[in-house]
Structure 1
Amino acid sequence: MPVFNQHRVPDRIRTPEERPVTQVPASARPTRTEHDLLGDREVPAQAYYGVHTLRAVENFAITGRTLADCPDLINALAAIKQAAALANRELGLLDPTRTEAIVAACEEIRAGALHEQFVVDLIQGGAGTSTNMNANEVIANRALEILGHPRGAYEHLHPNEHVNMGQSTNDVYPTALKIAATGAIRQLIDAMAGLRASFAAKSTEFADILKMGRTQLQDAVPMTLGQEFGTYALMLREDEARLGEAALLIREINMGATAIGTGITAHPLYAALVCARLSEITGIPLETAEDLVEATQDCGAFVQLSGVLKRVAVKLSKTCNDLRLLSSGPRAGFNEINLPARQAGSSIMPGKVNPVIPEVVNQVAFEVIGNDVTITFAAEAGQLQLNAFEPIIAYSLFNSLTHLRAACITLDVHCVRGITANRERLRASVEQSIGIVTALNPYIGYRNATAVALEAHATGRGVYELVLEKGLMAKEQLDAVLQPDRLTRPQAFAAA
């Protein structure tokens, strides 16, 4: 792999105070002249991007995060440009020499080269045009080098005429988002599966530990700690399946739609051909949308995916709420389980340890829920044949995917694997709880059970001794009924 010149984001988006004092003045740096519809501009000679990217960098200093921070999106763009070049060559529209150079440049980018040249802010106006042009220019200039020409010599190979042949931002950008999101979904599912396995392992470990279940934070009926942790594993498994379903929806692409879905400037056979080549390159079984006009304006697949991510976030946050509550204390709370101590919890209270891992996962969940609101509004705000707000959809969607993945890994490695149970505390809570009287309903009747519960609550005496004292059940029968395996699952009873 050749070594390419490295280039930073142009200094014009930095304040003068941020620039190193030893920096060479911009006026003294070598440049090349490029032209667009607004006129001539001087582009840094060593840059692989061109005038369109330069203007976008100047216009959109919004987040400080550029396309280079999203390598999956860059790789998706390169895959699309590679597939388009191959399709156009097969159709006789692009000559073999230019095709080979474009393909070679795209393969280098997909291998990790030149990512630093993707300098446009992730949030941008223009429905993603700046992203598409950034890709076109970098690929064109690298292809020119491969052909033996200097960067900017577009008379030999042009970013728009050759790299962007048969394309528009309006089909390239959403297709790139879908390809990149597919990989991110896989990574998130893998992280969720790891977390699920840890919860399942704890479910097995805690299978014999009896505790009191609660409803409305009040004592309910007995269950095992293993059952409680098993529910967390099951919730994750269900959401993995929902994510898989959402991933299927984003395999439908609109390549060949060009500007609004009518396919203007594209060959009649191009849409099917580019989809086939793109599927081969990415390994994703992509499909061309049935109606490209509809597909070009519709962001429903992104809304659906974001909704599933919100579902994951909500349920994951609820699980973390439980972990914080069950571990609360250690003296004045539930104190049923112990979370691994990760760091000192206070600058003023010695010995305090906080549930910092569930807390950070909660905060990621809040962000994902907010991102879903943003994506919903952005999808709704589209007008007529195009949605101009896909950049904020992309930004929010990838934040949700990547942050949820990191949160699952963090919760798994730094918390769930190290959870221990306070067995004595759990056993005592069952023995002292009035809630076990519910298990006696089928044997002594609701009226007697209520009377026992009221007396136990008023006197502080145990349900067990009151039932025996009143002669409501024989000791042998009572002991059998209050066994953990009978308290925590359905039982067959004789008819009254």
Structure 2
Amino acid sequence: MKYRVEQDSLGQRQVPASAYYGIQTLRAMENFQVTGIPISHYPRQIQGLACIKKAAALVNMELGLLDPAMGEAIVKACHEVRAGLLDDQFSVDVIQGGAGTSVNMNMNEVLANRALEILGHSKGEYTFCHPNNHVNLSQSTNDVYPTCLRLSSIWTGQDLIRALYRLRQGFDAKGAEFSDVIKMGRTQLQDAVPMTLGQEFSAYGVTIGEDIQRLEEVLDLLLEINMGGTAIGTGINTKPGYAPMVCEQLAHITGLPLVKSADLVEASSDTGVFVQLSGVLKRIAVKLSKICNDLRLLSSGPFAGLNEINLPPMQPGSSIMPGKVNPVIPEVVNQVCFRVIGNDLTVTMAAEAGQLELNVFEPIIAFNIFQSMDMLTRASVILRERCLLGITANRERCLELVHGSAGIVTILVPYLGYDEAACIAKEAQCSGRAAYDLILEKGIMTSSLLKDILDPAKMTGPRMIPRERKYDRLQG
């Protein structure tokens, strides 16, 4: 392998001659062999950095701080990076020390070396385009990196919203399909009152819709950026007017309605918005995991469980039990949700651990948030396509459980009063007989009235309450 020699404040190192990254990236690759996951694993982050560097170069040219030819070369290099043409050059581990400096320098070096080629020079000839002096002009890691996290979180969050929206549509469609399937509702895993399977699935759609709204709200908070604050928010080493200009330019490049933070010092040290974003992701995970728990329960059995629904069989479920099929899709989504919930704790601790004018733990915040959103997006797609769309209802089984449950006596309370209805329910449970048969046997109600009252289809929503009730007469 051929090498070129580069030098920084710590000395000289050999860098692969073909590499667009430089000496500082090389040191980071050696120092932070932690997860084995490079920052290029989340390409939205690379795209966000490229947009920021392009905005800075354009504004620096406009302010007369950057040679136009050099600036245009940097801008062209930014286009190539944003298009993914140099993704293999971003190999810094997702977890590193230095508050993201290694990520920022990885981008600075790649852009500088690609710009050098565009200008007709060789990689490493930094006299003609320097990673710090030119690509990083008017910037600091401390405004570039947090801004990048906001941009990439917005884009990744939008991907998640689209996946959640399609998942909600799937539950809504199943709600309509199962609207006439009468089943027994349950509380504390015990029989409660009848409902429709459609009501149950429609409720899943509603709860996902609420989470979409919460995610949209927190993504709006990410539109406030601290570009122009440089090191600690004071704007040191920038020209007057640079901060609003670079924010406006970045908004134009990304198509996002970005705004400059009202207080750049506060914005440079605060990571509260990422805590809130992670909290919303945890909320989504909790909801999805609960839904998957329900799907596993409703499909349990099939012979010794509830067996009210059938999940599409995806693979054989056992190496020893022939014919066994497990609910593997809800199970994998459960595990994704567990990881997201754990990631939220990491984000919380990292945000709390920041000191004074900078939070140095933003790399772990970024990694956990990107991983959570990416996994939730994939899990939502898998849950919809490989499970939800193929779910069928066992209509006869659902109705059988309704007819055999003492829970239907709840509808008799407005007619008989709570105490007498409770006695009938207890006797039905102890004797194993249907509540319907007991009421007729005791002569409490006529067959026609009882049949109308206990019609399961009429028990799944509000209905008229009789003016004259037996327990009113008894009390009178």
Does residue 29 of structure 2 align to residue 69 of structure 1?
Answer: no
Q: How far 1:456 moved relative to its partner?
A: 1.3
Which residue of structure 1 lines up, in the alignment, with residue 472 of structure 2? none
**SS of equivalent to 2:21:** coil
CA offsets, 1:46-67, max 9 Å, x none? 1101111111111011111112
Which residue of structure 1 lines up, in the alignment, with residue 473 of structure 2? none
Say whether the 8 Å CA contact 2:182–2:457 is kept in structure 1: no
Letter in 2 for 1:460: G
- Residue identity (%): 61
Which residue of structure 1 lines up, in the alignment, with residue 13 of structure 2? 41
Mapping for residues 81-100 of structure 1, pairs under 5 Å = 81-100=53-72
Letter in 1 for 2:139: Q
**SS of equivalent to 1:121:** coil
CA offsets, 1:115-150, max 9 Å, x none? 101111111000000000000000011011111111
- Please point out which of 112, 118, 135 is paired with 1:163: 135
- How many residues align? The count is 468
Mapping for residues 6-155 of structure 1, pairs under 5 Å = 29-155=1-127
Does residue 165 of structure 2 align to residue 193 of structure 1?
Answer: yes
Does residue 340 of structure 2 align to residue 368 of structure 1?
Answer: yes
Say whether the 8 Å CA contact 1:87–1:270 is kept in structure 2: yes
Letter in 2 for 1:442: P
CA offsets, 1:215-272, max 9 Å, x none? 1111111111111111111111000000000100111110011000111001121111
Letter in 1 for 2:107: A
Q: How far 1:31 moved relative to its partner?
A: 1.4
**SS of equivalent to 1:63:** coil
Does residue 291 of structure 2 align to residue 319 of structure 1?
Answer: yes
Which residue of structure 2 lines up, in the alignment, with residue 480 of structure 1? 452
Mapping for residues 434-453 of structure 1, pairs under 5 Å = 434-453=406-425
- Please point out which of 260, 279, 286 is paired with 2:258: 286
Which residue of structure 2 lines up, in the alignment, with residue 235 of structure 1? 207
Looking at structure 2, the residues matched to 447 and 346 of structure 1 have their Cα atoms a distance apart, in angstroms, of 49
Say whether the 8 Å CA contact 2:415–2:466 is kept in structure 1: no
Q: How far 1:471 moved relative to its partner?
A: 2.5
Looking at structure 1, the residues matched to 63 and 230 of structure 2 have their Cα atoms a distance apart, in angstroms, of 17
Does residue 233 of structure 2 align to residue 255 of structure 1?
Answer: no
Q: How far 1:495 moved relative to its partner?
A: 4.0
Letter in 1 for 2:153: A
CA RMSD of the aligned region, Å? 1.0
**SS of equivalent to 2:12:** strand
Looking at structure 1, the residues matched to 75 and 181 of structure 2 have their Cα atoms a distance apart, in angstroms, of 61
TM-score by length of 2: 0.97
CA offsets, 1:431-482, max 9 Å, x none? 0100000011111221221221122122222111222222222222222222
Gaps (5+ residues) in structure 1? 1-28
TM-score by length of 1: 0.93
Looking at structure 1, the residues matched to 171 and 363 of structure 2 have their Cα atoms a distance apart, in angstroms, of 36
Say whether the 8 Å CA contact 1:437–1:463 is kept in structure 2: yes
Say whether the 8 Å CA contact 1:444–1:473 is kept in structure 2: no
Mapping for residues 262-277 of structure 1, pairs under 5 Å = 262-277=234-249
Looking at structure 1, the residues matched to 419 and 98 of structure 2 have their Cα atoms a distance apart, in angstroms, of 71
- Please point out which of 396, 399, 412 is paired with 1:427: 399
Q: How far 1:99 moved relative to its partner?
A: 1.2
Mapping for residues 206-217 of structure 1, pairs under 5 Å = 206-217=178-189
Letter in 2 for 1:93: L
Letter in 1 for 2:339: E
Does residue 440 of structure 2 align to residue 468 of structure 1?
Answer: yes
Looking at structure 1, the residues matched to 67 and 454 of structure 2 have their Cα atoms a distance apart, in angstroms, of 82
**SS of equivalent to 2:463:** coil
Say whether the 8 Å CA contact 1:127–1:389 is kept in structure 2: yes
**SS of equivalent to 1:120:** coil
Looking at structure 2, the residues matched to 434 and 484 of structure 1 have their Cα atoms a distance apart, in angstroms, of 13
Looking at structure 2, the residues matched to 366 and 447 of structure 1 have their Cα atoms a distance apart, in angstroms, of 44
Letter in 1 for 2:142: N
Looking at structure 1, the residues matched to 437 and 30 of structure 2 have their Cα atoms a distance apart, in angstroms, of 80
